Structure 1
Amino acid sequence: MVKLFALSVLYKPTSDVSPTTLKAAYDLQQFSFFQRSSIQEFMAFTSKIITERCAVGSRQSVKEQEYMCHVFVRSDGLAGVVVSDHEYQYRVAHTMIDKVLDEFAAKVPSHLWPGTHETAIPFTELPALLAKWQNPREADAITRVQEEVEDTKIILHNTIEAVLERGEKLDDLVNKSEMLSMQSKAFYKTARKTNSCCNFG
C-alpha cells in the first residue's frame, strides 16, 4: 500500500533565512503509539532542513532510508514538503505540492506568512488534503494534471547527506537542533544504530 506520511507548508523568504513551518499534517497510524511523537518531530525537522537547502524555484526528491522527501520552493518563498514511501510516484507528489500551495496561497494572505505562528494560520484543510492524495488512483484530477509536471526538472538525491553543505553531518544537526526533544534525539540515535524502519538518518 502506497503511503503518504506528512504534508507541510513552509515559508522561506530568502536563502539565508531559516524557513518556518506554516502548517503541517501527518498520518502516522502505522507506527507504534509511543514512537509517533518522535517520528513526527523528525519529519518536521527533516522537512525544514530540506527546504532550507532547496534553491528557490527548484524541485527536489530526496531518498532517505525507507522514505522519500519531496520539496518545492516557489519564487514567493512558499514551500511544500511531502514525505512518502518509495512507491509513491514523485511526479504525483510534486503535482500535489503545486495544488496544495496554490490552495494555501488563495486562502492565506501573504502578509501572514512571515511571523505568524502555525496555530494562528487560517488553513484547516491540510489533513483532508493529505487523506485525499493518499490514494493517487482515486483522485482523477491527479492523472490529468500529471502532464503539467512531466516536463519539469526534478532533482533526485539518493540520501539526505547529498543536500547538506560540504562537511555538514546529519548527526550534528540533530544534536544542535532546538526543534527536537531529548526523547527524539535519543530515539534517533537508537534508530540509527538498529537501522529501524522509522530511522530518518
Structure 2
Amino acid sequence: IQLCSLSVLYKSEPRAVLLKAAYDMSSFSFFQRPSVREFMAFTSQPIVERSAKGSRASVKQQEYLCHVYVRNGSLAGVVIVDSEYPSRVAFTLLEKVLEEFSEQVDRIDWPLGSPATIQYTALDGYLSRYQNPRDADPMSKVQAELDETKIILHNTMESLLERGEKLDDLVSKSEVLGTQSEAFYKTARKQHSCCAVM
C-alpha cells in the first residue's frame, strides 16, 4: 500500500493552478524520481479541470488511482495511490486537508498562488501519517481488526473440525464406550453436520 502524492489545487478557467503538493518517491529509483514527480503534478491538473465542483471521483492511471475532490469553492485535492490503498481513507484525507487549507490560507491567494508563495506546510506530515491507512484512520484499524478476528475464528473452527474428525476415530476405536453411547454420539454428529462452517 502506498500513498505517492497529495496535492492542493485551485480549479480556475481554463487551467487548474497547483497551490501545494507533497510526494513520496521512495518506491522509485533515484533517476526516475524527477520524471515521476513531474508526471504526478501534470496528471493532477487535468483531473481537476475535468471534474465538476462539489464532486469526488477516482481515475485509474496504470497501476495507480487518482482520487480527486473538488469543493464548491473551487478548492480541489488530489491523492495518487496504488490500487490497494482504501479509497474511503483517501477521500477522508482529502476532506481533512482541504478543510484545513481553506482555514489557514486566505482565499484571495488561491487564484494567483504557487507552491512557492503559499504558506501551508502540513502536506508532508499528512503524506507521512497516511502512508499506513490502518494507523491513520480509526475505521480502517477497526476493519482490519475485524478481518483478523474472522481469520482467527475461521482457523479455530477448522482446528475444531479437525479435532472432531479425530474424535470420530477415537469413538469408533473405543472399547470403553457402550453401543448406546456410540450410537448417541453418531446421531448427535449427524444432526450437527448441517451446521458445518464453510
TM-score with structure 1 length normalisation? 0.68
More helix by share: 2
> 1:108: Cα distance to partner?
0.5
Measured in 2, the distance between the counterparts of 1:43 and 1:73 equals: 17
Please say if 1:31 is aligned against 2:28.
yes
Match of 1:11 in 2: 10
Report which structure shows greater RCO (CA 8 Å, sep ≥6).
Answer: 1
**Structure 2 letter corresponding to 1:72:** Y
Match of 1:152 in 2: none
**Structure 1 letter corresponding to 2:95:** D
Q: In the TM superposition, what are the counterparts of 1:97-112 in structure 2 within 5 Å?
A: 97-112=94-109
Note if contact 1:136-1:142 (Cα within 8 Å) is conserved in structure 2: no
Measured in 1, the distance between the counterparts of 2:106 and 2:83 equals: 34
Match of 2:39 in 1: 42
Question: Paired residue for 1:78, among 67, 75, 79?
Answer: 75
CA gap of 1:42–1:142, structure 2 versus 1, over 3 A, is: farther
Match of 2:177 in 1: none
- Structure of greater Rg: 2
Q: Secondary structure at the match of 2:19?
A: strand
Q: In the TM superposition, what are the counterparts of 1:56-75 in structure 2 within 5 Å?
A: 56-75=53-72
Measured in 1, the distance between the counterparts of 2:138 and 2:97 equals: 13
Q: Count how many residue pairs are aligned between Structure 1 and Structure 2.
A: 142
Q: What is the identity percentage for the equivalent residue pairs of Structure 1 and Structure 2?
A: 53
**Structure 1 letter corresponding to 2:108:** H
Match of 2:86 in 1: 89
Flag structure 2 segments of 5+ consecutive residues without an equivalent: 142-198
Measured in 2, the distance between the counterparts of 1:96 and 1:58 equals: 15
**Structure 1 letter corresponding to 2:34:** S
Flag structure 1 segments of 5+ consecutive residues without an equivalent: 145-201
**Structure 2 letter corresponding to 1:85:** D
